[in-house]
């Protein structure tokens, strides 16, 4: 059964206010860069100019700064609000430093891939417009936040006017909306590419590389790549995704999956393997059990200490009662003699 999102507006505002100073500092940096970017020379120096990234210019800082400087106040407000809302949820699961690490990796990958995508289009079309394109924006991280939300809450859904939106459908819905805006000339191609590569980078990082609680990645079936797509096309997506993964693993760009053995055949070599289908759920269960065990241990120790103290008091009282009063011991020897 799907879990509906029951967060009210007041609860959301209180959660946003509770985000760490690390995230608030990032939002402040984005606002400061926007204000500085109002000076044309500053924006031109910090955005991504496609032809200036590869040789001969090799201005590599642009693939870093380009993700955090916005060209419009509308984009700044939207991305800042999305950052704070996402941080209010993901920080509780990951911590602020892990969240900033996720944002940095995704933005770097999305901006770099978008840059070379423009170069690839230019190489095919020989259209100089793609080579001299300037772009910037935080859209890669925004779509990646939706991927992370799906990983954390795979069964959650949002009740919107007229329909219910499941968390697994949110990333592709965002990319589809960007495509619609692009086809109606309401946005450029850059946000579409940034969102698409942010989706791929966010999923790849969470699936194979992020380390939490001693576990690397999330190989659970609930976080399979094909689960983000509509059910009819999932077999095709799975087939293509498996082949792409094998190619990346062969190039050592992704870690290889652990080998599996058929334990139903008694003649085969047997090896005990952990069940990876629900590693995220197992991770949470182990943390909850460890916390419960620590609490129970404290309760047992406290009760044992109380019992020992109570037993000591009772023993002292018993010893006091057992000590005879002067003249009470050996009553027959000290009893007054009866005169004859």
Query: Is the sign of the CA dihedral 276, 280, 281, 283 positive or negative?
Result: positive
Please determine, for residue 64, whether its predicted confidence score (pLDDT) is greater than 80: yes
pLDDT at 157: 76
**Tens-digit pLDDT profile for residues 270-307:** 444 444 444 555 666 667 777 777 777 777 777 777 77
CA separation for the pair 326, 76 (Å, rounded): 92
CA separation for the pair 150, 171 (Å, rounded): 9
Q: How many CB atoms lie within 10 A of CB 140?
A: 29
C-alpha 222: how far from its chain's center?
15
CA dihedral 244, 246, 249, 250 (to 10 degrees): -110
Q: How far is CA 240 from CA 93, 175, 262, 264, in A?
A: 31, 20, 25, 29
CA separation for the pair 266, 223 (Å, rounded): 32
Query: Which is more confidently placed, 88 or 253?
Result: 88
Percent of the chain with pLDDT over 90: 54
- Residue 300, judged by CB atoms within 10 A of its CB (0-12, 13-18, 19+), counts as exposed
**Tens-digit pLDDT profile for residues 95-129:** 999 999 999 999 999 999 999 999 999 999 999 99
């Amino acid at each position: 059964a799907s879990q509906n999102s029951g967060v009210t507006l007041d609860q959301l505002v209180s959660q946003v206010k509770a985000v760490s100073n690390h995230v608030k500092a990032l939002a402040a940096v984005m606002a400061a860069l926007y204000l500085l970017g109002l000076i044309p020379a500053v924006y031109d120096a910090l955005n991504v100019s496609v032809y200036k990234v590869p040789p001969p210019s090799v201005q590599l800082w642009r693939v870093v700064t380009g993700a955090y400087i916005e060209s419009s106040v509308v984009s700044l407000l939207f991305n800042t609000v999305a950052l704070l809302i996402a941080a209010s949820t993901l920080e509780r699961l990951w911590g602020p430093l892990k969240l900033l690490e996720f944002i940095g990796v995704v933005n770097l990958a999305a901006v770099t891939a978008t840059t070379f995508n423009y170069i690839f289009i230019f190489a095919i079309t020989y259209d100089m417009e793609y080579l001299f394109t300037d772009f910037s924006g935080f859209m890669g991280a925004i779509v990646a936040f939706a991927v992370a939300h799906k990983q954390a809450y795979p069964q959650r859904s949002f009740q919107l006017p007229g329909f219910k939106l499941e968390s697994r459908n949110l990333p592709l819905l965002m990319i589809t909306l960007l495509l619609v805006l692009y086809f109606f000339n309401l946005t450029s191609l850059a946000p579409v590419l940034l969102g698409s590569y942010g989706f791929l980078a966010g999923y790849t990082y969470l699936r194979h590389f992020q380390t939490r609680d001693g576990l690397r990645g999330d190989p659970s079936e609930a976080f399979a790549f094909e689960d983000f797509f509509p059910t009819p096309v999932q077999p095709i997506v799975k087939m293509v995704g498996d082949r792409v993964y094998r190619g990346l693993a062969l190039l050592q760009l992704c870690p290889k999956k652990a080998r599996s053995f058929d334990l139903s055949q008694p003649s085969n070599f047997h090896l005990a393997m952990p069940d990876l289908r629900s590693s995220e759920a197992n991770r949470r269960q182990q943390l909850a059990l460890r916390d419960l065990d620590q609490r129970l241990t404290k309760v047992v120790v406290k009760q044992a200490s109380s019992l020992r103290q109570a037993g000591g008091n009772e023993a002292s009282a018993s010893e006091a009662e057992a000590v005879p009063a002067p003249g009470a011991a050996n009553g027959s020897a000290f009893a007054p003699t009866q005169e004859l």
